Structure 1
Amino acid sequence: MKKLATLLLAAGLVFSAFQPASAVELKPYGMFELLFEHGGNMARALQSSADVKHNTGEDFHGKHFGVIQRLTVGTRFVMDENLSATYEAILGYNTWGGPATGAAAAQQNGGVLGSRSANIVTKFAYLDWVVPGTDLKVRMGMQPWFWPSYATGTINPGDGDGFGTGILVNAPINDNVGVTAGWMRATSGFRRGNVVTDKHTDDNLDMFLLTLPIKGEGFRLTPWATFAAVGKDQSGWAKSTSWKQFTPLVAAASAGLAESGHAQNVTAQNIGQVRGNSTAWWGGLGGELTMFDPFRFAFDAAYSAIDTDYRATDRDGWLLGLSAEYKTAYGVPTLKFWYTSGDDSNVKNGSERPLMTGAFKNGSSVFFGSQNLAGNMASDCGATYTGTWGLSAQWNKASFIEGLFHNFRVTYIQGTNSKKMAEYVKSEGKTPGSELGRYLTTKDSVIDVSFDSVYSIYKNLAAMLELSYAFENMDGKLWGKAMGIDDGNGKAHFSDAWRINMKFMYTF
């Protein structure tokens, strides 16, 4: 904590060196989260310890109770309405009791007895300014980077937290129409202090964004488009390793299917190599209708594609999300639907799943939650919502006692990927069966039931209780055959997943 306070103080001193101290107004904000979690069969995607032993032959011990904390703190350094800077950092996750060693220590240590480790990371650091004499607003630096979304939560091309380094420029055309354009340097191998800076290779990944937000009385509509130029020497795309995962664009593959589309056991020898530069693009349209208050209708539609010169390494797919809400004195009944395209039965023609990730808020807290402290099946297991469809019936913000409200959701999820693709769902170096549950075919489905309650202890302090249960309906015979799992019946084992969480959140 001392390091974080020192860092924020130093940032303040830098700004004060150029102007009188009284000229800069500091506006601190933050959030402290403390979570007590208890659950089963989350970290291995609907597989209990007995299932893992049966499916992989390996022993598996998963903690069913733990405590996690996280502190997010930021400060805005405001000179006036035309000039400001923002810095935001995160302390944690800290898991009470550890771990103190191993791969997880980098993110979660500091919780073990006697540890003084402070895993503080910068989340945002950007500058906001207005071009003199105009309404042109410019944001430069490490900043939030999302595509417009009205019905499905946040969607973005990379990390689920949705941030990147670049420049965004917003220009209002009139009171109802504006335009936002931006450039993001997603990845680059050329870094100051890097021992290989003398190798000026074409290893950058640059993204260009354009949105056209339109608003009127009772409606909003936003068309958008993004283009990415991938350097021929981008990590994972060198000629000798062209079949590897295209990690920079999408954070996690579904069960080892390489990001560019094909399965891991397809190699450069039988699909060819990526020639030179590659390009990717995304386009979409989202909007909402509020003119029929108390009804609200919203939608998201998006398409994405990447062209790598070889069909086997290409990937393209689409997403559709719909939402309908009705505000009442007793809560907000909500119906949500989504569909994302899935892989067909031909592994040699690339992938038909869209290149998207993010905090997909479809109502299922177990599978594709809102990237909260508790996590979800997607973050715990590496699964994504691409290649699925679903329907969620919800009753949100139901309140019968002052300061207490509830959210009740029932969500049905089914895969849109061909069942034939199950035989390709294997990661290099992984034990057969370890990827089960991360990739849903048309034969796999799950029903998630959740009941969440939030109580306001004070204006800025809330207690949250989350109860979730996921009923699995995975095709054990299909996955048993695909993974070579044979207990006499040739079936893989799956179990229901469940979670009970108690969370305290202080915002300031």
Structure 2
Amino acid sequence: MKKAFVWALAVIGCLGMLAEARAATEVKIVGDALVYGVYYSNRNFTGWNAGTWTSATPTWKGAGTKTEESFQIWERFRWRTDFIASEAVKFRLALKVEDTWGHGTFTAANPAVSIMPYQAYLQFKVPGCAFEATAGLQRVDLPQSSLFYASPVFGDNAAALVVQGPLIDKTLSILAGFGRLIDTNRTYDTTTTQVADELDLYFLAVPVTVEGFKATPWGAVAVAGRNADYFINKGSQYGSSYYADTLTSAGTYISPKLWKNDQNPFWWVGGAFEVSALDPVRFYADVIYGAGAQSDRKKNRREGWFLDLGLEYTGWDVLTPQAFGWWSTGEDKSTRNGSERMPLVRPNWGPGNGFLFDDSQELVKDSNVGMSPVGSWGLGASLNNISFMEKLTQRLTFMYVAGTNSAKAIRFLNDAMGSNPYFQMGRDLTVNEYVLGVNLDTKYMIYQNLAAIVETGWAHGEFQQSVWGHRLVSQSRDGDTWKVAFGLSYKF
């Protein structure tokens, strides 16, 4: 009862502030609500949990210690409010509530109220020029061609300062920013000895647009402190990996363990390309090279390449055919010479709303397999924007993914650590493994702002018993991974 009273006071307070704010500023409120059920069987291709880090020491639990719940009902409500002082100045506050029915906020009789801000930023025009600055918790995406949704290096909300604007009108622009992703101890370190406990990201992009062609060269640098919480903070939106998995090398966990340096720089250079000169045929491509911890012990270094290529035909009203592929470097036979996979921070990459990767799924929780975009290659095709009936659209996507990682390297770490979070069956593939995936997604607009959505997915994997062990591989052969999600999406 006390929690409900506090919640009511908070709502009344917010409404009061809004009413007062209207006198001096324009207030715009938009939002969305999702309610959906998800049937998801054989998560991680076994129906059991994947390995997880359990402390910053680090300690960990191996895979296969928990059994999945195959059906859950999720609800998410988001509320975005813009306080607009003028065309030059505004502030956005965005809040959300998200949980399953019967848990936390949506528990009967004794709910645990949980409201999370996911955006909170000040945005203003720089006086005397056309540049715009945004400071605060905001969406940050490193450049990526639009067919592949978002970046394999970083695509998520972050506390950041971003400045962007035109250098040559409609032809050349610039985007530069800084984000603090982790600050473990905040104001004071735990003892009188200062430690490097931050993870910072700096980035710069220079989009160039001419008729029929767009190219965005870009670069990014992350400064990774040794004592930041890489083993506690998730390194993917879907939650299938931690920062420790996406930044470190396998050799980091072989004695002497962890990084030697207090701080290690990581850097990426890349280009995103889109060609529409041959419209209605359009081409998309990305090339990225990344490296990090190069001055640390040789076994702790990580570097690699990532490339993708796609095309689509936009000349038909009833559907848009798409084809795509990608390739990235994978681990060689030795962990003593570092990792050959490109480092990542928070990937959000994937074509065709594919069920295998964490990308553009609308029914967000329990939405995909959570495979790593590095250490693999793959081919796929999608029939997008299928529309043979008014108000109904569909998308059908097929993918084949194979590994570029040496089986010997993964087997060596698994023998040394046992079942561990760094390499996971189904997320990280050897050269002898593959995964097939299909998803069919349907949206029907009941009203202008209300949609019924169905997302379905299927995945089949073939895995090496000599790498992952008899128990996990045998369980994966008992059944494929399936997802069926149905829900309602309301936007206001």
Partner of residue 185 from structure 1, selected from 167, 180, 189: 180
Name the counterpart of 1:39: 40
Q: 1:156 to 1:90 in 2, by over 3 A?
A: farther
SS in 1 for 2:341: coil
Alignment pair present for 1:482 and 2:470: no
The structure with the largest strand share of the pair is: 2
SS in 2 for 1:312: helix
Q: Deviations over 1:67-118 (max 9, x none)?
A: 11111111111111110111111111x21122xxxxxxxxxx2222223222
SS in 2 for 1:281: strand
Name the counterpart of 2:432: 443
Partner of residue 125 from structure 2, selected from 130, 152, 163: 130
Partner of residue 271 from structure 2, selected from 285, 290, 293: 285
- Which amino acid letter does the alignment assign opposite residue 381 of structure 2? A
Q: 1:400 to 1:371 in 2, by over 3 A?
A: closer
- The TM-score, its normalising length taken from structure 1, stands at 0.82
SS in 2 for 1:411: strand
How far the C-alpha of 1:167 sits from its partner, in A, is 1.1
Name the counterpart of 1:347: 335
Q: Deviations over 1:368-389 (max 9, x none)?
A: 042642334444xxx4222111
SS in 2 for 1:226: strand
| Aligned residue runs from structure 1 range 304-453, under 5 A | 304-306=290-292, 307-327=294-314, 328-356=316-344, 357-363=346-352, 365-370=354-359, 372=361, 373-379=364-370, 383-424=371-412, 426=414, 435-453=424-442
Name the counterpart of 1:235: 228
SS in 2 for 1:348: coil
Partner of residue 109 from structure 2, selected from 114, 130, 133: 114
How far the C-alpha of 1:348 sits from its partner, in A, is 0.9
**Cα pair 1:24 1:77 within 8 Å, conserved:** yes
How far the C-alpha of 1:195 sits from its partner, in A, is 7.3
> What is the distance in 1 between the residues matched to 2:335 and 2:385?
44
**Cα pair 2:251 2:300 within 8 Å, conserved:** no
Partner of residue 158 from structure 2, selected from 151, 160, 164: 164
Structure 1, 279-288 or 196-205: larger mean CA deviation: 196-205
Q: Percent identity?
A: 24
**Cα pair 2:201 2:220 within 8 Å, conserved:** yes
- Which amino acid letter does the alignment assign opposite residue 439 of structure 1? D
Name the counterpart of 1:505: 489
SS in 1 for 2:466: helix
> What is the distance in 2 between the residues matched to 1:10 and 1:318?
53
Partner of residue 79 from structure 1, selected from 82, 85, 103: 85
- Which amino acid letter does the alignment assign opposite residue 408 of structure 1? L
| Aligned residue runs from structure 1 range 296-311, under 5 A | 296-306=282-292, 307-311=294-298
Partner of residue 213 from structure 1, selected from 201, 207, 212: 207
Name the counterpart of 1:103: none
SS in 2 for 1:234: coil
**How many aligned positions are there?**
465
> What is the distance in 1 between the residues matched to 2:205 and 2:143?
8
Q: 1:341 to 1:458 in 2, by over 3 A?
A: same
How far the C-alpha of 1:25 sits from its partner, in A, is 0.7
Partner of residue 66 from structure 1, selected from 72, 91, 99: 72
Q: Which runs of 5 or more structure 1 residues have no equivalent in the other structure? A: 99-108, 237-243
SS in 1 for 2:336: helix
- Which amino acid letter does the alignment assign opposite residue 136 of structure 1? F
SS in 2 for 1:145: strand
Name the counterpart of 1:88: 94
**Cα pair 2:233 2:243 within 8 Å, conserved:** no
- The TM-score, its normalising length taken from structure 2, stands at 0.85
**Cα pair 1:454 1:465 within 8 Å, conserved:** yes
Partner of residue 138 from structure 2, selected from 134, 143, 160: 143
